[in-house]
Amino acid sequence: AALYSRTVSKPNNKNPILMMLSVHPSRALMDEAFVILVQNVPPGFQVTLHALHRCEDGHRWEACAHYVADSSGNINAADDCSVGGSYFGVEPMGLLWSLKPVPGSKPGLRWVRCACDPTHSNIHVNGPQKLHCCFGPPKGPGPFPGLLDLWGGGGQLMEYRSALLASHGIASLALDYLTRTDQSLTVPVSVQTAYRVLQQHPQVLGSRIAMLGLSLGTVFTLKMAASLSPQLRCAVCISGSHIQPVSGEGGVMCLCYRNFEKISFSEQDEVIWRGLLLPIPSDPSLKVDVGRLQCPLLLVVGEDDQNWCSHESATDMKQMMERAGNDQLLTLLSYPGTGHLIEPPYTPHTPSMMVLWGGKTPEHSAAQEDSWRKIVTFLRRNLYGGSDPHAVNLSHL
Amino acid sequence: MSQAVPPLLSVRPSRALVDEKFSVLVENLPPGCPVTIRSLYQSEDKDFWEAYGHYVSNHKGTVSVSEDISLGGTYTGKEAMGLLWSMRPIPGSRKGLRLRKKDTCAPMLVTISVYSGHGDVRDQAPLASALVERWHVAPGVQRIEITEKGVRGTLFLPPGPGPFPAMLDLWGGGGGLQEYRAALLACRGFASLALEYLKSNDTKPKGLDMKYFETAFEIIRSHPQVIPDRVGIIGLCFGTLMTLSLAAECPTIKPRCIVCISNIHSKSNENTIQEFPQEIPEKYNKIHMMEDVVVWRDMGLAVLEVGHPKVKVGNIDCPMLLINGTDDQNWPTVEVASDIIKTMREAGKESLVTRLDYPDAGHLIEPPFSPHFRAANFMLHGTKKKVMMLWGGKTKPHADAQEDSWKKILSFLQLHLYGAPSLKANL
C-alpha cells in the first residue's frame, strides 16, 4: 500500500508533515485480515490510500480509497469510512477485494495466484497412471483429516484454496480432474483414485475425508456424497448444481450441449450460461438423489450467479431433502448480489471474463469473506468433531 | 481400526515481527485434559532453547495461551508470550549462552508443540506442532552495508519513498556489530544505522575517536532518504556513555532526541570501561566474584563515589529517555540516572528528561520477548578473556520491562522525530 496526500495548503519546508503508514500484521495468510493505520496526519486532512499489486502473470491491479483524518490525527481503515474511490464505507480489507486491473489492461483478466508452498507436487499411483494434483498436508506429526478439492470447469489447477485449508489443519488435495476426464463416466476415474490415495496416505485419517467442489466440481462432489461408498464425512458445494444424468451415457456436459440454444448474451457480448440447465427438471433420472445423503452438506450459492443456475438448484435440493426427511443435514448459504466465483476472501471480484459470472463487487466480496469463515467452521466441526457427525448442531452458522 | 483425532494447534499470526504478539490456541482436546505446550528453537550457534507451560483444557476441550493460566513450567500465570521470553537453553547445553540474532534478514523458526500431560515431555512425540516465524525485518525494509569513510555499520531503511527520520544505534561493550534493534526500528519507520565501533576481536583497544562518530552521524544525516534535522541516537550500556558524550560534548552532532538504556556516564582516559580498574585506587577497586560470575556493579558505585570524570550532561539540549533496571548487577545504572537528572536540574533542563526505572529488571534490556539470562559469557574487550558476567534481573519482571520499554521508546521517538514542532510548544 502507499499513501498519497492532497495538501490543502502549501507544505512549509520548515515543518514538513510526516505521516506514518503501517499495516498490521505486515505478513499474513491470504484469508487473514489486516489493519491499515495512518498516524500523524493534521486533523481533517484528506488522504488517499492506494494499493498496487503485480500478479505473477505481469498484470498490475490497483485500488484506492479516500479518507479524512479525525481530530487526533489518525486514520484507521478498519474503523473509518472511505468516502470515495474503489469502495465506500467501513471496509477493513477493501483495498484488496476492490483491486481491478489498471487502466489500459487487457480486458477479461482474472486474478491468478500460484501455489503458496513448494511441497505441493503431483502424485504417482501404481502403474502408468499419474494424478495431476497438488497435495500438501499441514505441518506437524498428524495424522490429519483429509479433503478432496475439485475446482471448476475453467481448467487450470488452482492450489491456493488447498494451501489455505492446510493452514486450518486439513490435509487437502486439489485435483486436476479435467485433463483426462472420461466424460462418459459418471465420476471420473481420477476422482475415485484421488479419494483412495487420500484414504491410504499415512498422514491422513482415512475415516475423516470430506469433499469440496466449486461449479463443475460440485457435480462429482454430489455424486460421491450421494453414493454411500465411500462414505464422505461431509461435503461442501459452491455455485453448483445437482442436475446431471444419474446413469447411462453422457455426463452433465452432454446435457448442456443438448440445451445449447438457451445460451444468452449480455450487452457487452459476455456469455450467460445459467439458462443451460433450466428449468430444473422434475425427472429424477436427471438429478442426483440428494434425499439419499447421509452426511452433512453445505451449499453456498450466489443469487446473481449468471453462469450456473445454482440458486434454483439449491432450492430444489432443499425440497428434495425435505421430502426425503434428511434436510437436517443441509445448511444453505444464499448470498444476494453475489456471482458465481465465490473464492477465498479478499481476492478481487471478477464480474466477467468474456463469460458473465455475475455479482456486484461489494456484495460479492462480503459473501466471500462470510462464506469462507463458515466453510472452515463447517469443515473443522465435521472433520475434527465427535464421532457422530449428525449430532453436530450447525444452526448457528 | 480407528485412529485418534489429534488436537488442532494454531498460532496466529504464524509470521510476525519479533516485537509482535501471537495467540496460541489448542482445540479438540478432551475436556479437563492436562497438556504441556512447548516452544523449541535452534539458534544460529546450533544451541537449542526451549520454554514450556502446563495447562488444563476447559470443558470445550480448548487451551488458549493468551487467556488461560500456566500452572507450571518455565513460566506461570496468564502470559501470551511466555513461550518466547521464558526460553532457556535445554539441559546439557553449554553454559553462559546469550541469544542474539546475527542474520537479521532470515526469520527465527520456532516450533510450538502440544504434548500430553505435565511430566517431562522431551522424549514424547507431540500431539500437534506448528512452525512460527519471527522476523526482524518487515517486507520492503532495505539492508545496506556501510563501509564508507572508514565507518563500519549497517543501515536499515523503512519501506517507501521516504524521507524518514533516522537513528544512530550504539550497542554496548561486547563490541561487534549487532543489527537486530536497528532492523526493528526500520520496521517502525526510522532509518537506522547500527554502528560498529568496538571490534570484538581487537586485541589492543584503541581510544575511541569522536571523529569516527561524527562521520557516522554525517553519513546518516546526509543520506538522501533521511530528514537531516530529525536524527536521534539510541544506546545501551557502554553505548549510552557514547550517546551522552556525543550529545553533550560534540558540537557538530545535535541529535533531535536520545534514548539511553542502562546508563553509564563515567569516563576513563581511554574511554573504555576496562580501564577503570587501573584508574581507581586499590581500596575502591570493587570488582568481585560471586559464585564464579563477575559483578561490576560495586566497581561502578566506587567510580561514582570517587567523583571520577563524567560526561557533562548539563550541556545536552534535547529530550532524553533514560531506561534502567533496579536489579542491574553490571553497573549502578539507577544511581547514574539519578545523578544525570540532578545535573540536568541544576542546569534548569530537568523537563527534557523522562525516566523509567523497572523493578527487578537487569542490565540487558533488549527488544521484547527475547529471553532473559541473569548471567552470560562476556568477552572482555581488548583481551581474549571470556568471563561469566552477572547482568542481573529476574526473568518475569525483566520480560515485562523489555515489552513496556520498547513501546515507550517507540512512542518517544514517534513524538520527537515524527511530531510537528508546534506539538512540543503545546506541552
Look at residue A2 in the predicted model and tell me its pLDDT. Answer: 58
- Cell 492450489 locates to A159
Please name which of A329, A312, A322, A335 lies closest in space to residue A378, comparing C-alpha atoms: A329
Indicate the average pLDDT of chain A. Answer: 81
Calculate mean pLDDT across residues A362-371. 93
In the set B68, B169, B327, B328, the catalytic residue is B328
Residue A35 in grid coordinates: 489493519
**Measured between CB atoms, does A284 come within 8 Å of chain B?**
no
Q: Is A340 a catalytic residue?
A: yes
pLDDT at B230 over 50: yes
Across A262-329, the runs of DSSP E, i.e. the strands, are: 264-265, 271-272, 297-302
Look at residue A178 in the predicted model and tell me its pLDDT. Answer: 67
- Cell 541544576 locates to B346
> What residue of B is the nearest CA neighbor of A34?
B13
**Measured between CB atoms, does B125 come within 8 Å of chain A?**
yes
Indicate the average pLDDT of chain B. Answer: 88
CA A136 to chain centre: 19
Residues in chain A with CB shorter than 8 Å from the CB of B8 are: 169, 380, 384
The pLDDT tens digits of the residues spanning A3-55 come to 554 433 334 455 667 888 999 888 888 888 899 999 989 988 999 999 998 88
Question: Are A20 and B420 a contacting pair at CB < 8 A?
Answer: no
Look at residue A388 in the predicted model and tell me its pLDDT. Answer: 44
Higher pLDDT, A276 or B282: A276
Look at residue A128 in the predicted model and tell me its pLDDT. Answer: 54
pLDDT at A187 over 80: no
| Residue of B128, B133, B135 with shortest CB distance to A140 | B128
pLDDT category at A115 given cuts 50, 70, 90 is very low
Look at residue B376 in the predicted model and tell me its pLDDT. Answer: 86
Helices B297-305 + B333-346 axis angle, to 10:
30
**Measured between CB atoms, does B77 come within 8 Å of chain A?**
no
The nearest CA of chain B is from the CA of A31 a distance in Å of 11
> What residue of A is the nearest CA neighbor of B124?
A141
> Which of A138-152, A328-342, B147-161 is least confident?
A138-152
DSSP secondary structure of B218-273: HHHHTSTTEEEEEEEEEEETHHHHHHHHHHHH-TT---S-EEEES---B--TTS-G
In the set B363, B372, B381, B416, the catalytic residue is B363
Look at residue B291 in the predicted model and tell me its pLDDT. Answer: 66
CA distances from B289 to A111, B286, B330, B374, B385 (A): 66, 10, 12, 15, 15
Residues in chain A with CB shorter than 8 Å from the CB of B421 are: 15
**B320-325/B258-261 β-pairing:** parallel
pLDDT category at B277 given cuts 50, 70, 90 is low
The pLDDT tens digits of the residues spanning A377-390 come to 999 999 987 544 44
| Residue of A26, A167, A208 with shortest CB distance to B139 | A26
**B48-56/B34-42 β-pairing:** antiparallel
pLDDT at B427 over 50: no
> What residue of B is the nearest CA neighbor of A15?
B420
pLDDT category at B144 given cuts 50, 70, 90 is very high
Calculate mean pLDDT across residues A114-121. 45
| Residue of A20, A29, A143 with shortest CB distance to B6 | A143
Look at residue A38 in the predicted model and tell me its pLDDT. Answer: 93
> Which of A45-49, B283-287, B292-296 is least confident?
B283-287
Type and span of the H or E element at A36: strand A35-39
> Which of A68-77, B35-44, B60-69 is least confident?
A68-77
pLDDT above 70: percentage of residues in chain A: 80
**Measured between CB atoms, does A15 come within 8 Å of chain B?**
yes
Look at residue A292 in the predicted model and tell me its pLDDT. Answer: 92
| Residue of A27, A139, A143 with shortest CB distance to B130 | A139
| Residue of B16, B227, B418 with shortest CB distance to A27 | B16
**Measured between CB atoms, does B128 come within 8 Å of chain A?**
yes
In the set A120, A201, A242, A340, the catalytic residue is A340
Residue A115 in grid coordinates: 501455489
ipTM over 0.85: no
**Measured between CB atoms, does A28 come within 8 Å of chain B?**
yes
Residues 386-425 of B with CB under 8 A from A: 414, 418-422
Question: Are B13 and A17 a contacting pair at CB < 8 A?
Answer: no
Look at residue A25 in the predicted model and tell me its pLDDT. Answer: 85
Look at residue B307 in the predicted model and tell me its pLDDT. Answer: 76
pLDDT at A394 over 50: no
DSSP at A379: H
pLDDT at A367 over 90: yes
Residue B157 in grid coordinates: 531503511
Look at residue A277 in the predicted model and tell me its pLDDT. Answer: 80
Residue type, B31: P
Is the Cα torsion angle A350, A351, A353, A356 positive or negative in sign? Answer: positive
pLDDT at B281 over 90: no
Q: What CA–CA distance (Å, rounded) separates B245 from B35?
A: 53
pLDDT category at A56 given cuts 50, 70, 90 is confident
Instruction: Say which residues have a Cβ less than 8 Å from residue A266's Cβ, sequence separation at least 6.
Output: A272, A306, A352, A356
Look at residue A152 in the predicted model and tell me its pLDDT. Answer: 73
Q: What CA–CA distance (Å, rounded) separates B54 from B37?
A: 7
Residue type, A54: R
Look at residue A35 in the predicted model and tell me its pLDDT. Answer: 93
The nearest CA of chain A is from the CA of B244 a distance in Å of 27
pLDDT category at A85 given cuts 50, 70, 90 is very high
Calculate mean pLDDT across residues B48-62. 95
> What residue of B is the nearest CA neighbor of A12?
B420
Look at residue A314 in the predicted model and tell me its pLDDT. Answer: 96
**Measured between CB atoms, does A143 come within 8 Å of chain B?**
yes
Residue B96 in grid coordinates: 553462559
Q: What CA–CA distance (Å, rounded) separates A30 from A163?
A: 10
DSSP secondary structure of B52-109: EEEEE--TTS-EETTTSPB-SBS--BS-TTHHHHT-EEPTTPPSS-----S-TTS-EE
The nearest CA of chain B is from the CA of A306 a distance in Å of 37
Q: What CA–CA distance (Å, rounded) separates B349 from B199?
A: 35
**Measured between CB atoms, does B60 come within 8 Å of chain A?**
no
pLDDT at A89 over 80: yes
Number of cross-chain residue pairs from A and B with Cβ atoms under 8 Å apart? 84
Q: What CA–CA distance (Å, rounded) separates B106 from B135?
A: 7
Look at residue A133 in the predicted model and tell me its pLDDT. Answer: 74
Q: What CA–CA distance (Å, rounded) separates A83 from A66?
A: 5
The pLDDT tens digits of the residues spanning B170-198 come to 988 777 889 999 999 999 999 999 999 87
Look at residue A386 in the predicted model and tell me its pLDDT. Answer: 58
Q: What CA–CA distance (Å, rounded) separates A207 from B216?
A: 65
pLDDT at A392 over 70: no
**Measured between CB atoms, does A144 come within 8 Å of chain B?**
yes
Q: What CA–CA distance (Å, rounded) separates B114 from B101?
A: 26
pLDDT at B378 over 90: no
Residues in chain B with CB shorter than 8 Å from the CB of A39 are: 414, 418
Partnered with residue B288 across adjacent β-strands are B295
Look at residue A247 in the predicted model and tell me its pLDDT. Answer: 57
- Edge-first strand order for the sheet with B63-64 is B8-12, B23-27, B63-64
Residue type, B77: G
Look at residue B16 in the predicted model and tell me its pLDDT. Answer: 93
> Which of A241-245, B82-86, B327-331 is least confident?
A241-245
> What residue of A is the nearest CA neighbor of B126?
A141
Q: What CA–CA distance (Å, rounded) separates B267 from B310?
A: 5
Calculate mean pLDDT across residues B317-325. 97
SS3 B128: strand
The nearest CA of chain B is from the CA of A382 a distance in Å of 12
Q: Is B363 a catalytic residue?
A: yes
| Residue of A25, A39, A139 with shortest CB distance to B13 | A25
pLDDT at B372 over 70: yes
**Structural domains of chain A sorted by starting position, each given as residue range(s) with its CATH number in brackets:** 6-101 (2.60.40.2240), 132-384 (3.40.50.1820)
Residues 244-303 of B with CB under 8 A from A: none
pLDDT category at B386 given cuts 50, 70, 90 is confident
Burial class for A325, CB neighbours closer than 10 Å (0-12, 13-18, 19+):
exposed
**A297-302/A330-335 β-pairing:** parallel
SS3 A131: strand
Higher pLDDT, B49 or A351: B49
